[in-house]
Amino acid sequence: MEDTNGKLKELSNKISEAKNANVSSIEAVKGAINSASDVFERLITALTKLAGVAKEAGDTNIGDTASAAAVAADKDGVEAIIAGVKDIIDVADKSGIEIKPVNFGNQIVVATNATDAIVVLGHITKTSAGIW
């Protein structure tokens, strides 16, 4: 992103030096380039902040299966990462970039009571263990 941002600024300067362009065209292009450059700068800042937060948060224990037991994620670390992602989404939204929700996998099943939990965790139920 930093390379693209630098190239946009360089292009803006070259356009200003163009011999056969009228002033309004030059200003329109420069405005678009400056706007894109501003978006890149804000995204770079947000991504850098998120990377720092993720590094600072360290091991959030998300998805840790080393002990084969349920592990709670570190609340502060997870919340910091969520805040960083929200910053990036906010920059994108304010810049006119449309972000749409998509399905990247299977739906997450939420257990609402003890019976549902057994169904959700079917691989460890009595049925799958051959007890029933």
| Domain spans in the chain, listed from the N-terminal domain onward | 2-101
Which range is least confidently modeled, 13-22, 23-32, 47-56, 86-95?
13-22
pLDDT band for position 127 (cuts 50, 70, 90): very low
75 vs 5 pLDDT, higher one: 75
Kindly report the backbone phi and psi dihedral angles of residue 28, in degrees, each rounded to the nearest multiple of 5, phi listed first.
-65, -45
The CA-atom distances, in angstroms, between 31 and each of 52, 93, 126 are 32, 19, 66
The total of other beta-carbon atoms located within 10 Å of residue 91's CB is 20
Asked if residues 80 and 62 have their Cβ atoms less than 8 Å apart, the reply is no
Per-residue pLDDT band for 42 (boundaries 50, 70, 90) equals confident
Interval 21-29 mean pLDDT: 71
Instruction: Give CA angle at 130 (128, 132), nearest 5°.
Output: 95
Q: Please state the pTM of the whole predicted model.
A: 0.45
Q: Residue 120 in contact with residue 109, Cβ under 8 Å?
A: yes
Q: Are the CB atoms for 5 and 40 separated by under 8 Å?
A: yes
- The pLDDT value recorded for residue 38 is 80
- Work out the pLDDT band at 123, boundaries 50, 70, 90: very low
